[in-house]
Amino acid sequence: MSKPVPLLAARDLTKAHGRTEALRGASVELRAGEILAVTGASGSGKSTLLHCLAGIVRPDAGSVTYGEERLDTLPEPRLSELRRTDFGVVFQFGQLIPELTALDNAALPLMLGGAGRKDAQQRAGEWLERFGVRGQGDLRPGELSGGQAQRVALARALATGPKVVFADEPTGALDSLASEQVMTALVHTARETGTSVLLITHDAQVAAYADREVRLTDGTLAPSEVSA
Ligand SMILES: Nc1ncnc2c1ncn2[C@@H]1O[C@H](COP(=O)(O)OP(=O)(O)OP(=O)(O)O)[C@@H](O)[C@H]1O
């Protein structure tokens, strides 16, 4: 059988922050519908890799290909459009807007994409429901538990129907029960919608939810792990 074509592929990425070489020739592929865990020690370059793959940061060298497009050289307007339409991101501390209710937080990307407020709120409500936090829709982030906030963040990331969700330590601030609930909801929804997930974690129990795991060491991935 021929090898599946990757949805997103990084080749030989290098990226320095000042004098720190965060990535030193990292290559990785994400396939359509795949949940890929990127693990590695603190400082090994995981977040930098995610930022390059999501088109948030441009690598110093190497390529990032998404479908037919080269993200590393794409003009900023098209890159922002892709980030809005095709990518969703979730970080360790949710990054919900504190002044907005959970419902309005989840509705915001839909409104930015052109939906009217009422329609966006209705669709956002359905996404909160999927993640088991519809009852918390009127609460502000400060009134949510860590796990609830992360589930709202996931609802917000998935509401626009992205092809890829980038999750950077989405359970890093949670206890094991909340972590399990967040990961179960994420995996279930990704499977149902065919969304690919790039999951960064230092937790082996979280990585076990993925289809495949690659490990970054000092800014590179071992060749055997690249083609696994
Ligand atoms: N904005 C920045 N300015 C300076 N150095 C940075 C910056 N971002 C990252 N670094 C450095 O680059 C290296 C890789 O960082 P990165 O955050 O990608 O690693 P990580 O594996 O995600 O780490 P952690 O698990 O601790 O979040 C580290 O040495 C870090 O200190």
Ligand 1 contact via 188 beta carbon (within 6 Å): no
For ligand 1, the distance from its centroid to the CA atom of residue 63, given in whole angstroms, is 20
Ligand 1 contact via 22 beta carbon (within 6 Å): yes
Residue 227: per-residue pLDDT? 45
- Using a 10 angstrom Cβ sphere, with 0-12 exposed, 13-18 middle and 19 or more buried, the burial of residue 53 is buried
Residue 94: per-residue pLDDT? 67
Ligand 1 contact via 146 beta carbon (within 6 Å): no
pLDDT in tens, the chain (228 residues): 566 679 999 999 999 999 999 999 999 999 999 999 999 999 999 999 999 999 999 999 999 999 999 999 999 999 999 998 999 999 887 689 999 999 999 999 999 889 999 999 999 999 999 989 999 999 999 999 988 998 999 999 999 999 999 999 988 888 888 889 889 999 999 999 999 999 999 889 999 999 999 999 989 986 444 444
Whose alpha carbon is nearest atom 18 of ligand 1? 45
pTM attached to this predicted model: 0.91
Residue 226: per-residue pLDDT? 46
C-alpha to C-alpha distance for 216 and 171, rounded to whole angstroms: 19
Instruction: Tell me the H-state helices in the chain.
Output: 46-53, 76-85, 102-112, 117-130, 146-158, 176-193, 204-207, 223-226
Which residues have CB under 8 Å from 1's CB, separation 6+? Answer: none
Which is the closest atom of ligand 1 to the Cα of 216?
21
Ligand 1 contact via 130 beta carbon (within 6 Å): no
Residue 99: per-residue pLDDT? 96
Residue 113: per-residue pLDDT? 87
- Domains of the chain with bracketed CATH: 8-93+162-221 (3.40.50.300)
ipTM: 0.95
Quick one: tokens of 124? 């956002």
Ligand 1 contact via 219 beta carbon (within 6 Å): no
Tell me which of 24, 48, 60, 92 to substitute to probe ligand 1's pocket, judged by most ligand atoms within 8 Å of the beta carbon: 48
